[in-house]
Structure formats: C-alpha cells, structure tokens
C-alpha cells in the first residue's frame, strides 16, 4: 500500500496533532496509521520499512538538518548519496546533486546504474558547475519545499578555492538555510588516511579530514561507512 506521505512526514503530522489536541503521541500515531489503512502505527512502520540502506537512512534524516556522510575512498559514500537521492524522489520529494567531481552526464549515468528509472533519474536536479559553494547551493535551492534532499560532493573540495568563503562560514550558512527551509543538506566528506593505520572498525568525527577548522556540531547527523556497514552519530 502506498502511503499518502513519507513516514517522517506522517510522524511529524502526528506530533503536531498530539500537541494541538492534547492526546498522547502513541494515540495520534495510531490515528494517522488508521487513516493510511493500517490498524496501528507499528503495523504501518513495519510495512513501510525500507529495504535499502539509503531508504533506512532517509527515514533517519528529519527536515532541516545538515548531514555529514563520510568514509575512506572506495567505501561507497558517493553511491550511498546518489541512492539517497533516488529514494527521495521515490518518496515524492525533490532531490538535488551538487558535484565538483562528476559531469552531469556521469552523475546521471551513475543514478541509472543504481537502478534509477529514466523518470526517477530525470527528477534529480544535477549541478556540476565549477562555482559550487554555499551561496551557490542556497541560491539554487531557494523556494525549495521542506523535505527536499540535496547531496554535495564533496566537503573538502569546497574549501580549495581562495575566492570562496572559508569552509566554516559556508557550513554555517548551509546549516542556517537548512533550518529555515526544512531541506536536508548532505555533505559527502573524506576521512583522514590515518584511520587506515589505527585499526578501528568504523571511523568517527575525530577521523574527518579537515584541512581548516570546522565546527562539526553544526551537523545534526553524521553517517559513517566502512566495510559495508553504516553508523549514524549525532555530533555535539
């Protein structure tokens, strides 16, 4: 059964209903579930549980957040970001990919190779211009709906041109825009090479490669990949 809205939107609707009407949250959730054709919220959640890592990740990213997606080379961080965009359009939301690594044709080929239909791939806005920075991204996403997901490939390369603001300033601007607009902005990030020699099974915030200072508490979520596993963390 196709839901009228993504799970995170239904959950937010239930929270608003509980707050306005004074009913317990679990009752509001069950009420929303019945309107969607399910007996209880748990039945709805079980039926809607995504089968892919990207689908599960999307459900963990509430609107209005700046998200870090980090891994060493070859671990699939860019592919997960692209899969996240496909899951976003499948959920009926807008999606955008800002890349300083791929051409638009290459990005769309990767989306297609990940199982995106021609229609789904076309729905992902791809920006491969050389001027990608926080101001550029914010301008392109102006007027976006809450729940829009934008993936930026990648964090460190935004810090390489002296004509652009410092990375810390860009991150602050993106975080503020995400909170205002309700968009989810995912910044793909490198992990320092020292991680490979440390023997850890999963990188963390301390392993993020930062040529210049950056307040990682600006990120509402951090997603780390290694060896096929995915771990979510909350900075701060």
What's the gap between Cα 54 and its chain centre? 9
Q: What integer pLDDT is reported at residue 49 of this predicted model?
A: 64
**Mean pLDDT computed over 54-66:** 90
pLDDT at 1 over 60: no
> Do 60 and 214 form a contact (C-beta atoms < 8 A)?
no
Model confidence pLDDT, tens digit, residues 19-38: 999 999 999 999 999 999 99
Q: Nearest 5 degrees, angle CA 142-CA 145-CA 146?
A: 115
Task: Give the CATH fold of the 53-233 domain.
Answer: Rossmann fold (3.40.50)
> Do 93 and 141 form a contact (C-beta atoms < 8 A)?
no
Q: What integer pLDDT is reported at residue 7 of this predicted model?
A: 79
pLDDT at 2 over 80: no
How many whole angstroms separate alpha carbon 75 and alpha carbon 223? 12
All structural domains of the chain with their residue ranges: 7-48, 53-233
92 sits in which H/E element? none
DSSP 31-83: HHHHHTT-SSHHHHHHHH--SSHHHHHHHT--SS-EEEEEE-TTS-HHHHHHH
Model confidence pLDDT, tens digit, residues 113-169: 999 999 999 999 999 998 899 999 999 999 999 999 999 999 999 888 778 899 999
pLDDT at 50 over 70: no
Q: How far is CA 72 from CA 158, 167, 184, 189, 199, in A?
A: 18, 20, 23, 9, 14
51 band by pLDDT with thresholds 50, 70 and 90: low
């Amino acid at each position: 059964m196709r839901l009228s809205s993504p799970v995170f939107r239904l959950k937010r609707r239930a929270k608003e209903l509980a707050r306005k009407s004074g009913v317990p949250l679990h009752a509001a959730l069950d009420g929303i579930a019945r309107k969607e054709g399910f007996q209880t919220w748990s039945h709805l959640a079980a039926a809607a549980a995504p089968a892919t890592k990207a689908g599960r990740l999307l459900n963990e990213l509430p609107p209005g957040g700046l998200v870090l997606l980090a891994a060493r080379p070859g671990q699939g961080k860019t592919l997960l970001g692209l899969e996240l965009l496909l899951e976003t359009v499948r959920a009926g939301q807008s999606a955008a990919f800002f890349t300083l690594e791929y051409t638009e044709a290459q990005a769309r080929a990767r989306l297609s190779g990940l199982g995106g239909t021609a229609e789904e791939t076309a729905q992902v806005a791809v920006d491969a211009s050389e001027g990608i920075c926080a101001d550029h991204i914010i301008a392109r996403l102006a007027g976006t709906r809450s729940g829009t997901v934008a993936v930026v490939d990648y964090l460190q390369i935004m810090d390489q041109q002296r004509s652009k603001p410092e990375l810390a300033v860009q991150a602050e601007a993106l975080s503020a825009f995400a909170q205002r607009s309700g968009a989810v902005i995912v910044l793909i990030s490198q992990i320092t090479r020292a991680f490979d020699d440390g023997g850890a099974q999963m990188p963390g915030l301390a392993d993020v490669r930062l040529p210049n200072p950056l307040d990682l508490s600006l990120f509402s979520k951090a997603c780390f990949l290694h060896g096929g596993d995915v771990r979510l963390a909350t900075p701060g």
